[in-house]
Homo-oligomer: A and B are copies of this chain.
């Protein structure tokens, strides 16, 4: 069982876990025919008349075989000297996005990508029934630096705490709203639409932009034009629009940066009423093109050698080609 420990100075939660032995696997556990290699599925998009945990699916969601947060047990919040501790309760699920082992968001049919976003939403709706859980994040890593398995998949992780990065976004959003009675993400989109130079792609419902203070080279934020705090409230039509934008965007990233490793995070509002109004769900994308320099770790100040204006130019060019 893992443990959540709170660093008492910067007040940041850490999951302390013991890596479990990975048994030698025969081929990819996420490919059709190997359904027995994963825990039983929680959700699937599958052909009429096919049985759970057998081939015939377009998408499966299964519990992670080696989760760092587990659904069973009690939180047992307690002090430990000056620190705080609780058991590693939560959920850690894997979305197997497609039966095709070598598929990529740059080439996946947008209907399939819409299935993926729709699956995220379904799990968000299901997991929030558990009152112990406070926040759900979706994270996708592409490339060997970030994970051992190359079959397209993403993680749905439910935490019993609101993570620090999200607390920061919430408090920034809330402060701005208190002062201006407006959403900071909505204002940012309005500004960037006027300036053009950091815009990458626009659809009827979404904007993809290189944020003015990009922390990483070629960082991209995808923001819905409608002010909706909660991803789980998004409608099917908007998810199809998002899927089309993402496919184009990942095509451009793949082309401009020679198929980079990347991470994607879906940020939505915590599972609590009080934050609903000010927050604005969005997707953050971090291509992993630069090496760490130690300064970010040492100071929290990021050093970015590619101005976002240049990143936007290069991604727009790759879109058109």
User: Is A203's beta carbon under 8 Å from chain B?
Assistant: no
Binds B, one of A40-48, A98-106, A295-303: A295-303
Within the assembled complex, what's the spacing in Å between the Cα atoms of A80 and B308? 14
A82, B187: Cβ atoms closer than 8 Å = yes
Chain B residues in 8 Å Cβ range of A307: 16, 18
**A294: nearest chain-B partner, CB-CB:** B263
Given the known interface contacts A168-B11, A212-B80, the answer about A137 and B19 at a Cβ–Cβ threshold of 8 Å is no
Say how many copies of this protein the assembly contains.
2
Within the assembled complex, what's the spacing in Å between the Cα atoms of A15 and B295? 11
* Interface membership of chain A positions 1-17, coded 1 if the CB is closer than 8 angstroms to chain B and 0 otherwise: 00001111111111111
User: Is A291's beta carbon under 8 Å from chain B?
Assistant: yes
A294, B146: Cβ atoms closer than 8 Å = yes
Chain B residues in 8 Å Cβ range of A205: none
B14, A297: Cβ atoms closer than 8 Å = no
Chain B residues in 8 Å Cβ range of A141: 293-294
- Give the total of A residues in contact with B, Cβ under 8 Å: 75
* Interface membership of chain A positions 37-81, coded 1 if the CB is closer than 8 angstroms to chain B and 0 otherwise: 000000000000000000000000000000010000000000011
Given the known interface contacts A14-B215, A172-B11, A292-B146, the answer about A184 and B82 at a Cβ–Cβ threshold of 8 Å is yes
User: Is A224's beta carbon under 8 Å from chain B?
Assistant: no
Within the assembled complex, what's the spacing in Å between the Cα atoms of A297 and B291? 14
Chain B residues in 8 Å Cβ range of A305: 17-19
**A182: nearest chain-B partner, CB-CB:** B82
Which residues of A, 147-195, contact B by the 8 Å Cβ criterion?
147, 155, 157, 159, 161, 163-169, 172-173, 176, 184-185, 187-188, 191, 195
A295, B157: Cβ atoms closer than 8 Å = yes
A191, B82: Cβ atoms closer than 8 Å = yes
Chain B residues in 8 Å Cβ range of A300: 12, 163-168
Within the assembled complex, what's the spacing in Å between the Cα atoms of A82 and B185? 10
* Interface membership of chain A positions 110-130, coded 1 if the CB is closer than 8 angstroms to chain B and 0 otherwise: 000000000000000000000
A298, B137: Cβ atoms closer than 8 Å = yes
Contact of A213 among B5, B145, B304 (CB under 8 A): B5
Contact of A15 among B163, B195, B301 (CB under 8 A): B301
